[in-house]
Each structure stands twice: as C-alpha cells, then as structure tokens.
Amino acid sequence: MPGRDINVTGTLVWYYYICPRQVWLMARQLTPDQDDPNIDLGRFIGKNTYKREKKEISIGHIKMDVIRQEKGRLVVGEVKKSSKFEKSAKMQLAFYLFELKEKGVESVGELLFPKEKKKIRVELSEELIEEIEKAKKEILRIIYQDMPDPPRKIPFCRNCAYGEFCWS
C-alpha cells in the first residue's frame, strides 16, 4: 500500500483482536458480506439504542458510537451486540480514549451491551496505552504486507462475514 497515508482506526483495532487477516482485508476496502445477519443485527442495535445520546461522532479518523458528558468529563460509549468479543471491544474503546488523550481530551469509556443490559467502565491505564501502541504497530505491519496471512480456523470463523472470502 505504498503512497497511501494509512491511519489505524477503531474498526481495525477491533478486527486485530479477533482475526488479523480481517485487518488486511478491511484496510483494502474488501468489506465483509453486508447481508450477513450479524452485521444487520449490529446496525439495528446501533441505530435503535441509546436514542438520547449523541451518536456516531467523528473526530479525525475515529468514529465513536455514543458520547455524553458526565460530571464535566467526556464519556465515550462503544455499543456492541454481545459481550462475546469483550476483549476486542475493550481495546477498540481504549484506542478511542488513547486517540482523544493524544488530542488533549481526557475521557472515560463504557462498553455497552444493550441486549445483555450490561455496561463496563473502561479507563485508560499505562498498561492499556502500552498495549494499544503495540497493537497499532502490529496493525500497520499487517496492512503493509503484500498478501494476507493464510486463513486459519479459529472459533470466530463460524459467524464471520468474511467466511466466503477465506474458505471458498
């Protein structure tokens, strides 16, 4: 991908913690099957929950699901359909908090799982900052490869919208 200015995004961080092959595909605008029922459900939940909050706020190359003020502090919410991918969701949210901190904005995060009525608070720590910085470097390494890594079966393949691309 020479000659192209690449920004790591929250979506790439999300995919990195699920399947690095998806990072390579997404970075090249090879989008997953948009008719996949899991993608449809995710869109539906994002659109129809937290209606009183400000939604899909973009700042530079980051796009946050929900934001609000709480006691004078910015709270960034990341809405997910299930806590099954809690680690990747947490790292995506930590990435947003890190990027905001780099811009001088102190914030905290909340992972929101409306179907489960579950909310998890996320605060940026030194450990999360180190992990995000490492992940960003690894994501860029993956993106700049000429070819994606070969597919390998992992538990997430079963419901993956890239399934046909990897296994056909």
Express each pLDDT in 66-122 by its tens digit. 888 888 889 999 988 888 889 999 999 999 999 999 999 999 999 999 889 999 999
User: Residue 52: exposed, middle, or buried by beta-carbon count in 10 A (0-12, 13-18, 19+)?
Assistant: exposed
Report, as an integer, the average pLDDT of 23-33.
79
Fold of 10-167: Lambda Exonuclease; Chain A (3.90.320)
Report, as an integer, the average pLDDT of 17-29.
88
Q: Quick check: pTM over 0.95?
A: no
Q: Is the pLDDT of residue 52 over 90?
A: no
Q: Collect all residues with Cβ–Cβ distance below 8 Å to 3 and sequence separation of at least 6.
A: none
